[in-house]
Amino acid sequence: MSYGVTMSRATASARPPGRPRSGVNAVVFAATLRTVHELGYARATVDRIAAAAGVAKTTIYRRWPSKGELVVDCLLDAFGPVPLEGTGRAELMASAIRWIAAKISEPGVGDAFAGVFSDAVSDPALREVLAARLQEPYRVALHEALGEPDGRVLFFIDVVVGTLLHRLGMTGEPMVDADVAELVEMVVPHFGGDTGTG
């Protein structure tokens, strides 16, 4: 579930007073992806998501300040941490590219990603949330794993994610494996990873 996870009430004053929140976050996330998958981002209204989750709309707005932040949390939950388990630089980058391509191909995930990204273009507040909560953790992880300077990592993310989202947005379909493979063959050598020649 990615965030907070109560710290087993050890740190701060035991537990806040009042009726505790029911554990429906996961249900709401699932309903969000399902609704976005079935209706597209724009028609996946908060009313419909709430109905699909069997929850009142006000409950959603009590937990997330906007539809955009709900979707960002939903994507955080759907993505999870990057698997960075390759032995060499090349394998590491290639597996990261294939991982994000596969995630974006999952039903609802790519649409939700493209949709919230779109909203963020003309909503600076949401853009900061998107950059800080969704992009930053992966940027840090890649920075440490690859040893590349920040600017290069951001460029790497722009190329990989930008390409995948542009394909999805233009065609309505996620990028096929052959093209993902070509993306790997283009990007990895540029970043100094051997792709099989030594």
**Residue from 102, 162, 173, 194 in contact with a copy of itself (CB under 8 A):** 162
Work out whether 140 is an interface residue with a copy of itself (CB under 8 A): no
**Residue from 6, 8, 11, 58 in contact with DNA (CB under 7 A):** 58
Work out whether 193 is an interface residue with DNA (CB under 7 A): no
Distance between CA atoms of 142 and 94, rounded to whole angstroms? Answer: 12
Work out whether 62 is an interface residue with DNA (CB under 7 A): yes
Binding to a copy of itself in span 49-68, by CB under 8 A = none
Scored b (16 or more CB within 10 A) or e, 1-40 reads eeeeeeeeeeeeeeeeeeeeeeebbeebbbbbbbbbbeee
Distance between CA atoms of 148 and 146, rounded to whole angstroms? Answer: 5
Return the range that interacts with DNA (CB under 7 A); candidates 45-53, 73-81, 139-147, 165-173.
45-53
**Residue from 53, 71, 75, 130 in contact with a copy of itself (CB under 8 A):** 130
Distance between CA atoms of 178 and 180, rounded to whole angstroms? Answer: 5
Instruction: Give me the 166-185 binding string for DNA, x by CB under 7 A, dash otherwise.
Output: --------------------
